[in-house]
Chain A
């Protein structure tokens, strides 16, 4: 087992950015829906990590800190900026292309939009647990750690979240749910 050579804060930002920025932005989109807000949240998290580097010291703690900060900031952004209502409003208004012959790409976009909308409708904890569990592939223990909840709570949020996401998508897609 090796440990990387010590990085200074600038190097840490560079390296972690190169390896993880895109995936963290995608994670943040699953949490807040709005891509611009997501990028902001992740950039803020990198800045915060830079400031904390003196206590983090190694890439593993750096990444764990980034993940946790992204989740926390996403949560507080949703609490304070009303990102939710803005997005749900525009997307509810968008018509669903119903024809089977519709352009495949448009359909894919539509499907993605519906999934993100459905995620946004879930209770916060369920949304966070689903994103960490099924998008980042973190273990129950890691999620418990990241969110500061028990492993049992992670398990129950995950199973309720999966059921609730299906419900949400059933409402949005009806019979076409099974095509997903």
Chain B
């Protein structure tokens, strides 16, 4: 863990003390009264964690469990699934062959691995029944020299609820990569994602804020991208290119975040919407064996894709490769050989402008011994 300074220790003591006298009233009954009508039970089952100070230990457990069952990736609140873009090794070097399905190869050595791509698969855990999951692209907003753009984050979701879960993750900003975010107001929720002959409908709940107007501090580019984030995510999860309509709190929406959505929203062209470089595998936080394969999609000048492997801010390896085609999102793939350690992988396009305007995607990864 990170080192602490005396000032940090001082803050720790102050905060602990500041709330040490707080003893909230019993609230379980009132919470129960607001949840389902199931009768209250009093049996206490074995609790895995101690209360209070065990939070750190708990967090470590979370990471370990996720790593074991779902491959690398940090735990995400609120979706109960981990990144499907698990660490890919050289053995999966063909994973960039298909754009939509790339980057979802499971880590090797897992007895309960999930197949990549959009094929439903079965995942078992010791504790529960077989869960059928599917890997879907979830889109988030990241900063680039060309303004905010969409980045793709492949996530493993329960197949029964794939579109809804994916849109929920997109809306709430549950990306596996902390560089990716959601510009949506935190109160917004998704109720339902459905498709019929006339198109796709995303039912949102405003959570009290009007979602019609653009919040202060949000640019119109960001607002447009926020809407596209959901359009891209829902369409991909449903394997459809149909226009997406929205409802808010049960009413058809004509404006969302100041963006006209009346009559349904079409997918905006890739070139104006997507970041020019995506790394789809390995995922953020992945643990890989050397040599490992890096794959993704890039829309690069002369198809030239450049990469660096950095350790403590220093470039320790670098190279370049070609995407299959120039000037449109097309697959690239390369292998990296590196000694064990923690690294940041940086993949970017080349600087055609000479202005230092490169679009990059970064992944913090660990090379295992």
Q: Are A148 and B31 in contact (CB under 8 A)?
A: no
Q: Are A112 and B79 in contact (CB under 8 A)?
A: no
Known: A60-B61, A137-B56. 13 other contacts (CB 8 A): A5-B45, A6-B127, A6-B128, A13-B28, A21-B27, A47-B31, A55-B161, A58-B65, A72-B186, A112-B17, A150-B179, A162-B7, A180-B14
Q: Are B31 and A1 in contact (CB under 8 A)?
A: no
Q: How far is the CB of B234 from chain A (nearest CB, A)?
A: 17
Residues of chain A contacted by B125 (CB below 8 angstroms): 3
Interface of B is mostly: loop
Tell whether B25 is near chain A: CB-to-CB under 8 Å. Answer: yes
Tell whether A20 is near chain B: CB-to-CB under 8 Å. Answer: yes
Residues of chain A contacted by B364 (CB below 8 angstroms): 151
Interface size class of B (residues with CB under 8 A): 35 or more
Known: A15-B47, A61-B78, A142-B74. A180 touches B10 (CB 8 A): yes
Show the binding face of B for A, using Cβ within 8 Å. 1-2, 5, 7-8, 10-12, 14-25, 27-28, 30-32, 34-36, 38, 40-41, 44-45, 47-52, 55-56, 58-59, 61-62, 64-66, 68-69, 74-81, 125-128, 158, 161, 165, 168, 173-175, 178-179, 181-182, 185-187, 207-209, 285, 364
Q: How far is the CB of A159 from chain B (nearest CB, A)?
A: 9
Contact partner of A56 (CB less than 8 A), chosen from B32, B49, B79, is B79
Count, chain A residues at interface, CB 8 A: 85
Q: How far is the CB of A170 from chain B (nearest CB, A)?
A: 13
Binary contact readout A136-147 vs B (1 if CB under 8 angstroms, 0 otherwise):
111111101110
Q: Are B15 and A22 in contact (CB under 8 A)?
A: no
Q: Are B14 and A29 in contact (CB under 8 A)?
A: no
Known: A2-B126, A134-B15, A150-B179. A17 touches B77 (CB 8 A): no
Q: Are A112 and B65 in contact (CB under 8 A)?
A: no
Known: A61-B79, A68-B77. A130 touches B175 (CB 8 A): no
Binary contact readout A52-64 vs B (1 if CB under 8 angstroms, 0 otherwise):
1001111111011
Residues of chain B contacted by A163 (CB below 8 angstroms): 7
Give the nearest-CB partner of B49 in chain A.
Answer: A19
Q: How far is the CB of B67 from chain A (nearest CB, A)?
A: 9
Q: Are A19 and B59 in contact (CB under 8 A)?
A: no
- What are the 8 A-B residue pairs with the smallest beta carbon separation, nearest first? A68-B77, A64-B77, A26-B19, A144-B178, A148-B173, A60-B62, A115-B18, A50-B35
Q: Are A25 and B55 in contact (CB under 8 A)?
A: no
Q: Are B165 and A55 in contact (CB under 8 A)?
A: yes
Known: A55-B79, A60-B75. A23 touches B45 (CB 8 A): no
